[in-house]
Structure 1
């Protein structure tokens, strides 16, 4: 019969894995006694297939070189529920936003494609740092939201800003314009907002 390991204080290793380092895959608390490398659901953090694959690579790399473990930059958190409409969380979640973060919003009722298709309930919210304009995270409730979520995850991963993203083309009529509208909403809340020709650059 398998039994959980204990540390002598009555706490099982399962409870102590809260000190697990997702950047190296190693349980720091266990290091002095044994090296434990974790990946996937057992880590209790990002329980998603693409995250587990990254964690497996990180844990395997460091397990083979455990005298000098390497910390790896993790991808931007991305989770999608394939419901109708899709629900997605990208980057920093709303409940973890810094107090000063700005929130921009766009609804399907104001988007041409959403209205034509009867998707007026679509909703996109973007979170940004007011000083730098850098995109911090997003939440999506939208038909086809899985595609919007990927665009936003890539933008956050690359450190894009509100102004920089508004320089990108947005075709009309598309539900991608929800992102453009939410970006414009964010820009209007920034102190250094330029009301003239948003998204265009002067030569």
Structure 2
């Protein structure tokens, strides 16, 4: 990949056919796949050799949520005639999160340990102006490069200095040795909502801040409003607030410092929050800016996203450069990173005509708060912006859905966007119980081009929460023939 290899060969320590930079989900998949057909491959990594999901993301957050759900059920069963109060051992909660997280990570570490030592380089890579990879004291010339450098938490300018030790992120929250007394969570995206609710259920006094009156990035206003309604029954949320300043001040008892947030609420009134920690959940950014990727001819936009990106393989234009996983900022989800890494690792094989390219996944996201939030396929604005799509919105409320009410989880709303011309599902958005399973069914339907009729021809066991999906599909089918009406269809079988 060197731009001037004839001039720099004397300084090159190693020549490889493929260099993978980054050893997260995408990088590891790319490395394993490339090595199936080519042994002259090296992987370079700075930091932990596991994955963001296992180390600081999916798995530790779900471990925290699992503990929180148990505490919540114990404390909120009076309606069922069961009275109990959970005794929460914060140190044990956090210890189990780390122990189980490390258990999962041990399997990845074992795989990495099985790779040949001469194929692994522990260090930070930089691509110089000659197109060579500088790492530690080596210069590496690679014919093809796969960039899988992942992402990092985004922290607003100056906040780390002003908040000091009172600031935590999703990368550091799981290292807390005990549960704090109070916490502000800044950001109501997936990470913010999951951690805010989990800590709240574990006895932490949590307040959520977000600059817009929306949660989980929901683009269907009815679903977003319903999610806010359901979640605000547990969480204190200041949505539509503007944070003007953050910092620390001496506690009233003069024992250490506490954090503060000066903000304007949605009515424009000046307010201040004080507490033990501020969890900054303002999103993640791809780790690509300092890599020197532009020296390979890669162009980035104003948000550091690569231009000319092939979303199937991660290839950049006609260059022998592939940017995969969170590094390309396309769809920063594990299953997408896994597929992109696999596809890129196949493309760099010596006979790329035989490469197996995984088909690009449809958009599909789950937020594991309670009730869960799911988006599948096209969003409502994307559909509305396409004049060629004649659509209807099938709806069902879970507020009085049979099994949901039996379980005491009856708060939710599902919208399914159906195409009148094709009888196919274009997309869906939902907040409600069992949303992860309903989302998977709809994702399978969209991926396999199933019609609404075909979905309705499948059995729906009674009584299940999934019967709500049938109600929404029936509403789609009904509205294919008549103008859209705003009232929700209700489950009619008990």
Q: TM-score, normalised by structure 2?
A: 0.35
Contact kept in structure 1, 2:324 and 2:344, CA below 8 Å: yes
Instruction: Find 1:57's aligned residue among 342, 361, 369.
Output: 342
SS state at 1:104 partner: strand
Contact kept in structure 1, 2:340 and 2:358, CA below 8 Å: no
SS state at 2:348 partner: helix
Deviation, 1:24, is 2.8
Contact kept in structure 2, 1:37 and 1:63, CA below 8 Å: no
1:119 aligns with 2:409: yes
- Structure 1, unaligned runs of 5 or more: 193-203
Contact kept in structure 2, 1:24 and 1:59, CA below 8 Å: yes
Deviation, 1:112, is 0.8
The aligned counterpart of 2:332 is 47
CA 1:80–1:114 in structure 2 vs 1: closer, same or farther (change >3 Å)? Answer: same
Whole-Å Cα distance in 2 between the matches of residues 125 and 81 of structure 1?
16
SS state at 1:114 partner: helix
1:164 aligns with 2:454: yes
SS state at 1:57 partner: helix
Moved more, 72-81 or 170-179: 72-81
Deviation, 1:67, is 6.6
Whole-Å Cα distance in 2 between the matches of residues 67 and 171 of structure 1?
46
1:93 aligns with 2:379: yes
Instruction: Find 1:78's aligned residue among 345, 364, 370.
Output: 364
1:36 aligns with 2:325: no
Contact kept in structure 1, 2:390 and 2:421, CA below 8 Å: no
Moved more, 98-107 or 173-182: 98-107
Deviation, 1:43, is 1.2
Instruction: Find 1:22's aligned residue among 307, 311, 316.
Output: 311
- List 4+ stretches of structure 1 deviating above 3 A: 11-14, 65-72
The aligned counterpart of 1:173 is 463
CA 1:43–1:90 in structure 2 vs 1: closer, same or farther (change >3 Å)? Answer: same
**How many pairs were matched up?**
186
Instruction: Find 2:441's aligned residue among 145, 148, 151.
Output: 151
Contact kept in structure 2, 1:85 and 1:143, CA below 8 Å: yes
SS state at 2:307 partner: helix
Contact kept in structure 1, 2:339 and 2:358, CA below 8 Å: no
For residues 4-15 of structure 1, the aligned pairs below 5 Å read: 4-6=292-294, 13-15=299-301
Structure with the largest fraction of strand: 2
Deviation, 1:39, is 1.3
SS state at 1:26 partner: coil
The aligned counterpart of 1:195 is none
Contact kept in structure 2, 1:135 and 1:162, CA below 8 Å: yes
Structure label with greater radius of gyration:
2
